[in-house]
Chains A and B, each alone.
Chain A
Amino acid sequence: MLSNTREIRIEDLRKEVAEYKFKGYRYVTSSCSDLGEGKFDIIYHFDKDYNLENLRITVEENQVVPSISDIYFAAVLVENEIKDLYGINFEGLLVDYEGKFLITEDVEEAPMRKKPVVKLKKGDNQVG
């Protein structure tokens, strides 16, 4: 199981991350996953002496997350990636690719978001 994980509010994110920086932790990466129903999980991983600590926030669709890239510069690419793949907006990104970091202009929706499952009943027209 994922140990050393704390759930925090989005408002506390920057304060908590700054504390990790102060304590000398290395920012490893952030993992985002789609929980369905317009909710997303973002886990921030920090490492010190091979000990991994994690912060978890839950983000609603269209909610803006404060960027931590000015605290840890290494977060720039990770946050841009999450923005591209999940369509979550980050405020205050140091280098903002505006959603065109990995995907091109012609991709309209965030590709890693879960698609709604449409259940077909017997007799439904499956064509179109």
Chain B
Amino acid sequence: MGKRTIMPFGPQHPVLPEPIQLKLVLEDEKVVEAIPAIGYVHRGLEKLAEEKDLNQNIYVVERVCGICSFMHALTYCQGIEELMGVEVPDRARYLRVVWGELHRLHSHHLWLGLLADAFGYESLFMQCWRNRELVMDLMEATAGSRVIISTNIIGGVRRDIDSEQQKYILTNLDKLEEELKKIESAFLDDYTVKKRLVDVGVLSKKEAEEVSCVGPMARASGINTDLRMTGYAAYNELDFEPIVETDGDSYARMKVRLRECYQSIDLLRQVFSKIPEGPISVPVKGFPNGEIVSRVEQPRGEVLYYIKANGTKNLDRLRIRTPTFSNIPALMKILQGADLAEVPLLILTIDPCISCTER
């Protein structure tokens, strides 16, 4: 048996974009155990949500995370709408899919870029982020801002996307698909990339079920789960299947996210071929009473909001369970037995968002 050492990894580390700390128990160069330590950037937003009123809370939850801000607002609004029995107009449901998928696209591109950077492919990283700019432009053109777009309201959406903008989005999507095809072979066929990703950090289907994995991480291990299949917003009227890979290694996780980019582009095209005319929101009066659970599939996986209302303008409780929080136990599992040199890449493959985890 080699010498055992405990090494703190993070919260500030050159390869980590997020402030997560892992206490790594090492035996020579092998990781025996990894214990996560979070709490460095905890902001107490759940407590804040109890003090703000119903509409102000939309802005609070949008700031849980910049990357998936729209989806947080969507989950919250859907929950409140269900509690109050509000019927959202059809056009608003389709528009929610548009912004939701744009968020997924830019999140996955960001992650692909970070992955390329982690294994030392700087030009590939730049290419991914340049492609992401195309999506950010769409966000700016349709909502006026690039990151926190604030288009959700209780009862629908705040902005419409007219036919001119739809054409602009479709042209940009064509461009994006073309660019994606160019970088695809670098990710899938390159010898160095395969060397770094294939058979690294394998999480079997059984293990993934044991640690309650969600999102692309679960789908890469062969679990067929995607909350969009439950049909929230307008997903029940669109034609798609969850993207599942069975290998469970880092390469499979990359493949799932890469293929999901194409899926999002396809979903957006479907939306624009079907989107109905009509109003984009309904006025909502009164306050909700009761409790509800609202769930949405974010780029990183399932997010769960538990909302408890009491008939006033304030909520009794707003509990936010984000996908990264759910995937950290899986990270603890895949780090066991890994080499120290693989640790940064393995942390990255769960697509960690500590901002989400420490809301």
Name A72's closest neighbour in chain B (CB-CB): B212
Question: Which residues of the other chain, A, contact B325 by a CB distance below 8 angstroms?
Answer: 29, 77-78
Give Cα A73 to B203, complex, Å.
15
The distance from the CB of B53 to the nearest CB of chain A, in whole angstroms, is 18
How far is the CB of B209 from the nearest CB of chain A, in Å? 7
Interface of B is mostly: mixed
Query: Is the Cβ of A28 less than 8 Å from the Cβ of B329?
Result: no
Residues of B within 8 A of A34 (CB): 317
Whether B304 lies near A45 (C-beta < 8 A) is yes
| Cα separation A111 to B45 with both chains bound (whole Å) | 12
User: Can you list 8 pairs linking A and B with CB atoms under 8 Å apart?
Assistant: A1-B290, A28-B212, A33-B316, A50-B230, A76-B329, A101-B38, A112-B46, A112-B47
With a cutoff of 8 Å between Cβ atoms, the chain B residues found around residue A104 in the complex are 39
Q: How far is the CB of A96 from chain B (nearest CB, A)?
A: 11
Question: Contact at B39–A101, with CB atoms within 8 Å?
Answer: yes
Q: A45-B304, A111-B44 are contacts. A74–B212 as well, Cβ < 8 Å?
A: yes
- For residue A102, CB closer than 8 A to chain B, the reply is yes
Contacts A1-B291, A102-B358, A104-B39; A28 near B211 (Cβ below 8 A): no
Asked if B292 is at the interface (CB within 8 A of a chain A CB), the reply is: yes
Given A33-B308, A103-B39, A111-B47, A74 and B293 contact (CB-CB distance below 8 Å)? no
Contacts of A28 in B (CB 8 A): 212, 302, 304, 321, 326
Chain A interface size, as a band, is 20 to 34
CA distance A50 to B304 in the complex (A): 12
A27 to B209, CA, bound (A): 9
Q: Is the CB of B326 within 8 A of A74?
A: yes
| Minimum distance in angstroms from A128 CB to a CB of chain B | 24
Q: In the complex, A119→B132 CA distance in Å?
A: 54
Question: Could you tell me the distance between the alpha carbons of A95 and B293 in the complex, rounded to whole angstroms?
Answer: 28
User: Are A77's CB and B328's CB within 8 A?
Assistant: yes
B163, chain A: closest CB distance, angstroms:
35
Which residues on A sit within 8 Å (CB–CB) of B47? 111-112
**B130 contacts A by Cβ under 8 Å:** no
Q: A28-B326, A31-B321 are in contact. List 8 more A-B contacts (CB 8 A).
A: A28-B302, A29-B304, A33-B316, A54-B293, A77-B328, A78-B325, A101-B38, A103-B42
Q: Looking across the interface, which residue of chain A has its beta carbon closest to that of B306?
A: A31
Q: State whether B229 touches A50 (Cβ < 8 A).
A: yes
Specify the chain A residue showing the minimal Cβ separation from B305.
A31
Q: Does B243 touch A at the CB level, under 8 Å?
A: no
Query: How distant is the Cα of A43 from the Cα of B304 in the complex, in angstroms?
Result: 13
A32–chain B nearest beta-carbon distance, Å: 8
**Interfacial chain A residues near B319, Cβ < 8 Å:** 29, 31-33
Q: How close is B320's CB to chain A, nearest CB, in angstroms?
A: 10
Contact check: which of A29, A43, A52 meets B326 at CB < 8 Å? A29
| Whole-angstrom CA separation of A27 from B290 in the bound complex | 23
Q: Which residues of B contact A101 (CB under 8 A)?
A: 38-39
B35 at the interface (CB under 8 A from A): yes
Q: What is the chain B residue whose CB lies nearest that of A2? A: B291
Residue of A31, A50, A73, A103 touching B211 (CB-CB under 8 A): A73
- Interface check A14, CB cutoff 8 A: no
Are B329 and A77 within 8 A (Cβ)? yes
- The closest CB in chain B to the CB of A76 belongs to B329
- A74–B42 Cα gap in the complex (Å)? 20
Q: In chain A, residues 39-97, which have Cβ atoms closer than 8 Å to a Cβ of chain B? A: 43, 45, 50, 52, 54, 72-74, 76-78, 95
Q: Output the least CB separation between A44 and chain B (Å).
A: 11
CB distance from A70 to the nearest CB of B (A): 12
Q: CA of A28 to CA of B292 in the docked complex: distance in angstroms?
A: 15
Determine if A102 and B293 form an interchain contact, defined as CB atoms under 8 angstroms apart: no
**Which 6 pairs, one residue from A and one from B, show the smallest C-beta to C-beta distance?**
A74-B212, A33-B317, A31-B306, A29-B321, A102-B39, A31-B319
Rounded to whole angstroms, the CA-CA distance of A26 and B218 in the bound complex is: 12
A30 CB, min distance to chain B CBs, angstroms: 9
- Of all chain A residues, the one with the shortest Cβ separation from B42 is A102
